[in-house]
Amino acid sequence: MTDTSARLSIGFSWIGHALMHIVSALFLTVVLALEREWKLPYDELIRLWTLGALMIGVGAPLAGWLGDRWSECRMMAVFFLLTGAGTIACGLTDGPEALLWALAVLGLGSSIYHPVGMAWMVKNATNRGKALGYQGIFGTIGIASAAVVAGGLTEWLGWRSAFLIPGAVCLGLGVVLALLIAMGKVEDRQGDVKPIPKASRGDVIRAFVVLSVTMVCAGLMFNAMQVVLPKLFEARLSDLLGGSTLGVGGVVTAVYLFAALPQLIGGHLADKYPLKRIYTLCLLVQVPMMAAVAVLADLPLVGAAALVVVASQVQIPAENLLLARYTPEKHRGLAYGAKFILSFGAGPLAVQLVALVYERTGEFVMLYITLSVLALVAFAAALLLPRDRDVPAKPAAAPMAAAE
């Protein structure tokens, strides 16, 4: 195992995080153009993403298990190739039914990233909080870029290009990674660069129960926010944006980019301060901010939405390190898979919740009140996490240079 392999592994993990969030969110902005072109209502079209969102959650445990048992780096190559193929298929569809199945393939490919890419990176990084912070920045950039990429390509080249071009990038990176693996430049690591202290059985069970609750709530909050934000901004910022798809995408991008640097700060904090404290405070902040989004409009709405996204992104490094702390290394891919079947498995429910609220009210006030209550439930559950214990890890017998 070489430093080059570790650094390439971390680099592909970071880039993969951005691309996963770009391609899995393209449809949420493209749907605004399909409303006009296919002359179908928003609530009917947005439901096409239900199966794809379900696949992101359902596929995660199997992907994590294959990463643990077979190969993390090879599973990442499969991620790029399958996700790229599904995204391109979306751009070639000619109706709702075909798009439904293409989005399902895209979702299945996307399901590979988090359980495999995250375990792959944690295994290769020395300063895990810092590395997770940078990984979070790439993910945030991906989430932010998705709306403006989809909106820009739709405005300039048509909605099909919004799928075809990002899909081609994914396929290309998959080919490059496969070649690097074949050449021996990227290899699977046996064991962590920096060992994690073993937790007691009681703390593992307690953390598992608590994190199951908080991650389901966080998954519903994240997915609902991501699904609804383009439509919410289109409705409540109409005087500022004039109905432009590119304008809507640009504001969504600005909101998520605003959270990029704070997430890196969250990674540094996770290396230095108690994880439980960081995690609970981030959940607490989201309670009043979700309630504010329910009733605000224009620039105050943008500010409140940005604060929700900042808090949700800063908590991610702490959450992922909590999961790593209470999971044996040999089962970490499966553990991250379980996390993302809970968080992304909430995606279909979030899609249906958004569609139902909009169908019945034509607005999203009740949606954000519900999300505020979920944030409060997650905060109360997080208070029950085991107390942070600072147990120094034993140094590895032959430590590598830090790979961050």
Same domain, 172 and 236: no
Same domain, 291 and 342: yes
pLDDT tier at 2, thresholds 50, 70, 90:
low
Measured CA to CA, the distance from residue 81 to residue 180 in angstroms comes to 14
Same domain, 212 and 307: yes
Same domain, 101 and 245: no
Q: 144-199 pLDDT, tens per residue?
A: 788 889 989 999 999 999 999 999 999 999 999 999 999 989 888 775 555 566 66
Same domain, 296 and 237: yes
- What's the pLDDT at 196? 60
Same domain, 236 and 182: no
| Domain assignment of residue 391, yes or no | no
**pLDDT cut 70: percent of the chain above it:** 90
Residue 289 reports pLDDT greater than 80: yes
The two structure tokens encoding residue 364: 């999203």
The residue among 186, 209, 236 that closes a domain is: 186
| Domain assignment of residue 403, yes or no | no
pLDDT tier at 279, thresholds 50, 70, 90:
very high
Q: 153-163 pLDDT, tens per residue?
A: 999 999 999 99
270 near 125, Cβ under 8 Å? no
DSSP string covering 21-70: HHHHHHHHHHHHHHHHHTT--HHHHHTTHHHHHHHHHHHHHHHHHHHHHT
Largest CA distance in the chain: 64
Same domain, 361 and 262: yes
| Domain assignment of residue 397, yes or no | no
- Structural domain including 107 reads 1-186
| Domain assignment of residue 196, yes or no | no
The HSE-up count of residue 161 (CA atoms within 13 Å, CB side) is: 9
| Domain assignment of residue 402, yes or no | no
Same domain, 312 and 214: yes
- When divided into structural domains, the chain yields a total of 2
| Domain assignment of residue 127, yes or no | yes
The residue among 155, 186, 217 that closes a domain is: 186
What is the rounded average pLDDT for all residues in the chain? Answer: 85
The two structure tokens encoding residue 18: 């951005």
Same domain, 232 and 344: yes
pLDDT tier at 45, thresholds 50, 70, 90:
very high
